[in-house]
Structure 1
Amino acid sequence: MDKKVNLKSLSNDLNISVGTISRVLNGKAKEYRISEKTIKIVTEYAEKMGYQPNRVAQSLRVSKTFTVGLLVPDIANPFFSTMAKFIEKQASALDYSILLMDSDEDFEKEKKAIDQLKSRNVDGIILCPTSEDISYYEKVVDKSCPIVFIDRYLNTSKIPFITSDNYGGTFIATQYLINKGHRNITLLQGKQSEPIKMRVRGFLDALKKNKLSEAQENITGHSFDIEEASKTFIDLWERNPTFTAVIALSNTIGLGVLKAAKSLQLDIPGDISLIVFDEHEYSDFINPALTTVKQDKESMGKSAFEMLYKLIQEEDQPNNDFIMTTLVERKSVKKLFI
C-alpha cells in the first residue's frame, strides 16, 4: 500500500517542523524569513513525493476556495474562448480553478451568473460586462470577491480592467487603407461598449488626420452576431455600393461580411477590401487570407488573472492596462491607383 504523503509525513522524512513545511508550500516562506536552502529542500522533496495539498482544508483555514469565476458574453466566439484558455493556464499555474459561465450578451443572465458565482464563494471574478450600468457592478464588488474587467470596461468605474489598445488598432488599420488609396471606407461596429467607442474614435481621427470625410453614415452596425452583420452589409451595399473598403470591428462581424460578400458575389479584395479587428488561426487559411488587427489574447488573459490574484491577496490596487495591438498584413486589401 502506498504511503500517504501529507505535511506530517514530509515533516518526519525531512526532520523539519510541520509549520515550516506548511509555510513554504503555501508561499509564505519569505514572510517568515525561511532560508532559500530550506525552501529548496522542501519544495523539491514535496514534488518528488507527489505531494498534493488538501484544498478543502486550506480553504477552511484561509477562507478561500482557490476558485475564480470567468464570465464572458459568448463562449462560442473564438476571441473569448481563446482568451479563456490563457486565463485558465495562468490560474492553473497559481493552483486556482476556473468556473466558466456564458452570459449570451444578456445583462439579466449575467446578473444571475454573478449571483451564482458569489453563492459558490469564488475568490474573485473576471468579467467581460454586457452592460454600462456602473452602479450595478460597483454594488456587487466587495473585499471578499473582487472583480476585474477584461476586454470591455467602464471608463468611469473604479473596477480595474485589462483591454486592447482599441484606438490605436483601428487608427493604424484606417491609415493602412488610406495609404493603399482608399478614400471611401465603411466601419461595421457591434454592440456599444468602451472598446467599440475607442475603435470608432480611432477610425474618425485617422480620417480627420488625412482630411477625409468623417460622416457618421460611414459607421453602421449594432451587433456582433454573424447573421446580423451579414444583413447589415448587404443592406448597406444595396443602398450605396460606392465604398471600397470595410473595417469589421470583431472577428464575428468579419465573418458576417465574408458571408454577405459571397451572397452578393463580391470578390475580396477585387470588389471590396476588408480588415478585421482580431486575429485568429483561421485568418491565414481563409481565401483570401485576412488582413487583421491582432489582439494579444495571451497577454490579456495572463494579465487579467494576475490583476485579480493581487486583489485576492489584498495587495495594492493594480493599474489598468491597454495591451498593444498590431496590424497583420495579408491579402484582403487591394491597392488602388491614387
Structure 2
Amino acid sequence: MKPAVPAMDRPDSDPPSIAQVAKATNCSVTTVRLVLNGQAGKYRISAATQKIVRDYVDLHGYCLNHAARSLKLRRTDTIGLVVPEIANPFFAGLMACLERLCAARGLVLLTASSGEMPAQEDRAIRELGTRGIDALIVVPCQAPRYGRLLGGAKDIPVVLLDRAYTGAPYTVIASDNFGECVALTDAILDAGEQPHFICANERLPSIGDRIAGFGAACRKRRIRNWRARVHCADQDSIHSAGTIVDALLAQGGPPRALICSSLLMLQGTMERLKLRLGQLPPDITFGTFDDHFMLDFLPNHTFAIRQDADMLAALALDYLDQHPTGPDGPGRVLAPCTFVQRPARR
C-alpha cells in the first residue's frame, strides 16, 4: 500500500510549486527546474534523480505560474539588474538570459549600467529602489552595501553575480575564476609557452581571483617572475588592452602566448597587434575568459573559458525565489564553466 500523501500535496489540491517539488523529492530547486526544462542531460543530472522528479510531477503536477508562488512580497513584478558594462559580451549575454527567464515567470527586468563607476552604480540602485522593484541583482563595481540606497525597500532580496567582494553581506553567484584560470594557464604551459596575462583592474574580485589562479599555475612550474607577466589596466576596455600591447611590443616584439581576462581585452589585444604588425601573428597562442564563435575563424591556437550565463541567471532567480524576505547573509555559489580549445590552423 502506498503511503498517504500529505494534504497539501494530494492530486486534488493545488499543484505544488517548484520549491515544493524540490523539497518533496529532496532535490535542489535548480535540479528540479533543469529536469522539467529538459536540460538534465546537459548538466549531468543522474537518470535516477530525473525519474524521482518526473514521477512526483506525474502524480502531483506542478505550478506553471512560477510568479504566483515566488517572491511573495513583490509589489510590481519587477526585478532590478545593474551590470558594469553592456558592451562586454558576457554581461550582455547574462542580461539577455535573465530577461528571458524573467519573462517566463511573468516578471519584468529593469536594467542599468554602472560603467564601472561606483557613484553611477549607487544612482542606479537608488533609482531602481524608488521604482518599487521586488528584488535586486547586481554585478558590483565596489564593495556592496545597499541598505542606505534602497531606503524603505532595504529588506528586498539581493543577490550578487560574478564578483565576490570580501565582507559583502549578500550571497554571490559566480564562476570559479581561480580554478578556471589555473586550468587555462596550465593548458598554455603544457603547450610549451609561458604566457603574459593582459587583464582589467585587479581590484575587481573576479580579476583578482584570475590573477591568483595564473600565479598558482606558474608557481607550480617554478616560474618565479610570474608577477612581471601580469599587466593590469584601470578599465576593461579595448583601448586599455591596446595600451598594454604597445608596452609589450616596446620591450622587444610580441609575446608567444597571451591570456586576456575578457573578450573586450582580447579584442583590444588583437586589434592593436594587427595595427602595429600589419597582421595578427598566427604563431601566438591565445587564452581568454568567455568564448565567442568568431574565435573559430582564427588561425591561432586558442583556449577559452566559457562561462555559463544561463546557469548563473537561473541560480540567481532561484536564490531570489528561496529568499523572498531579504538577504540571509553572505554566501557563495560556484557555477561550472566549459573549457574550449581550438587548435592552430596552418
TM-score (norm: length of structure 2): 0.74
Is the counterpart of residue 245 in structure 1 residue 257 in structure 2?
A: yes
Shift in CA distance, 297/220, structure 1 to aligned 2, threshold 3 Å: same
- Alignment check: 8 A CA contact 1:166 1:198 kept: yes
Shift in CA distance, 34/327, structure 1 to aligned 2, threshold 3 Å: closer
Unaligned runs of 5+ residues in structure 1 are 1-29, 41-51
Amino acid at match of 1:274: F
**Displacement after TM superposition at 1:146 (Å):** 2.3
Cα distance per residue 1:12-48 (max 9 Å; x no partner): xxxxxxxxxxxxxxxxxx99837423536xxxxxxxx
Shift in CA distance, 198/315, structure 1 to aligned 2, threshold 3 Å: closer
- Alignment check: 8 A CA contact 1:269 1:333 kept: no
Alignment of 1:122-141 (within 5 A): 122-132=133-143, 134=144, 136-137=145-146, 139-140=148-149
Which 10-residue stretch deviates more, 138-147 or 204-213? 138-147
**Displacement after TM superposition at 1:108 (Å):** 1.0
Cα distance per residue 1:138-170 (max 9 Å; x no partner): 644665322211111212212111111101111
Which residue number corresponds to residue 11 of structure 2? 36
Cα distance per residue 1:76-110 (max 9 Å; x no partner): 22111111111122222322110011111121111
Alignment of 1:17-166 (within 5 A): 33=8, 35-39=10-14, 64-132=75-143, 134=144, 136-137=145-146, 139-140=148-149, 144-166=155-177
Amino-acid identity (%): 24
Distance 1:74 1:315 in 2: 25
Larger Rg: 1
Cα distance per residue 1:171-228 (max 9 Å; x no partner): 1111111111113x21111022111111001000101111112442211121211112
Alignment of 1:284-299 (within 5 A): 284-288=296-300, 290-299=302-311
Distance 1:173 1:333 in 2: 20
Distance 1:88 1:257 in 2: 31
- Alignment check: 8 A CA contact 2:159 2:171 kept: yes
Unaligned runs of 5+ residues in structure 2 are 16-64
Cα distance per residue 1:239-279 (max 9 Å; x no partner): 24373211001110000111011012276564422111111
Q: What secondary structure does 2:206 align onto?
A: helix
Alignment of 1:252-271 (within 5 A): 252-265=264-277, 270-271=282-283
- Alignment check: 8 A CA contact 1:182 1:245 kept: yes
Cα distance per residue 1:267-298 (max 9 Å; x no partner): 65644221111112333244547421111111
- Alignment check: 8 A CA contact 1:124 1:144 kept: no
Shift in CA distance, 151/186, structure 1 to aligned 2, threshold 3 Å: same
Shift in CA distance, 215/179, structure 1 to aligned 2, threshold 3 Å: closer
Shift in CA distance, 63/231, structure 1 to aligned 2, threshold 3 Å: closer
- Alignment check: 8 A CA contact 2:207 2:261 kept: yes
Distance 1:287 1:271 in 2: 8
Distance 1:315 1:220 in 2: 36
Distance 2:97 2:200 in 1: 24
- Alignment check: 8 A CA contact 1:125 1:146 kept: yes
Shift in CA distance, 213/243, structure 1 to aligned 2, threshold 3 Å: farther
Amino acid at match of 1:128: V
Distance 2:249 2:188 in 1: 19
Distance 2:256 2:300 in 1: 16
Which 10-residue stretch deviates more, 315-324 or 88-97? 315-324
Amino acid at match of 1:260: R
Which residue number corresponds to residue 17 of structure 1? none
**Displacement after TM superposition at 1:62 (Å):** 5.5
Q: What secondary structure does 2:159 align onto?
A: strand
Shift in CA distance, 308/318, structure 1 to aligned 2, threshold 3 Å: farther
- Aligned partner (choices 190, 198, 202) of residue 188 of structure 1: 198
| Aligned residues between the structures | 288
CA-atom RMSD, angstroms?
Answer: 3.2
**Displacement after TM superposition at 1:75 (Å):** 1.2
Q: What secondary structure does 2:342 align onto?
A: coil
Q: What secondary structure does 2:8 align onto?
A: coil
TM-score (norm: length of structure 1): 0.75
- Alignment check: 8 A CA contact 1:138 1:159 kept: no
**Displacement after TM superposition at 1:307 (Å):** 1.2
Q: What secondary structure does 2:141 align onto?
A: coil
**Displacement after TM superposition at 1:299 (Å):** 0.6
Which residue number corresponds to residue 234 of structure 1? 246
